[in-house]
Amino acid sequence: DGEISFFSEAPVENISAVNKDVKALINAKNAEVAFIVTNVGFKFEKPLMEEHFNENYMESHKYKVSVFKGKIINEIDFTKDGTYEVTAKGTLDIHGVTVEREIKGTLTISNGKINLTTAFDVLLKDHKIKIPKIVVKNIAEFVKVILNINFEQK
């Protein structure tokens, strides 16, 4: 289970949304990680923001999911409890555009359960998300993405 949220700070208004429809996998043998989130799963404080997000910016009817696939490049012993600063190297696919990324986060292992938290910026133009000039003061050029995932080793 998990949650992904984002926050955009702009001169006119701040925009935030939360999505609990996150699927996440971690392979303790080879440190591969993957996250997939349904774009329509983001919930906003104002229904109109949600509508604009899905129809105008993310085009959620066309690009249904956003995906990160990668590998933790640090040596981690998944059998040992502890907190580890990690970096995952991989690809982030948002709005149909795949970008190579290195994302830093904190991995906590406790009694066989794994938690991963991270916060990173996404530049909208990197994923060809267009902001009309009329609302350029309402929407920042980048959003901060925050991820909190709980895994259970199988």
pLDDT in 10s for each residue of the chain, 154 residues: 899 999 988 777 888 999 999 999 999 999 999 999 999 999 999 998 899 889 988 999 999 999 999 999 999 999 999 999 999 999 999 999 999 999 999 999 999 899 999 999 998 889 988 876 666 566 778 899 999 999 865 4
Query: Are the C-beta atoms of residues 15 and 142 closer than 8 Å to each other?
Result: no
Tokens of 110: 């406790």
Q: Domain residue spans in the chain?
A: 2-152
Tokens of 150: 């709980």
Homologous superfamily of 2-152 in CATH?
A: Lipid/polyisoprenoid-binding, YceI-like (2.40.128.110)
SS3 state at 52? helix
State how far the alpha carbon of 34 is from the alpha carbons of 25, 78, 100, 140, in Å. Answer: 5, 17, 14, 27
pTM of the model: 0.89
Beta partners for residue 123, in sequence order: 142
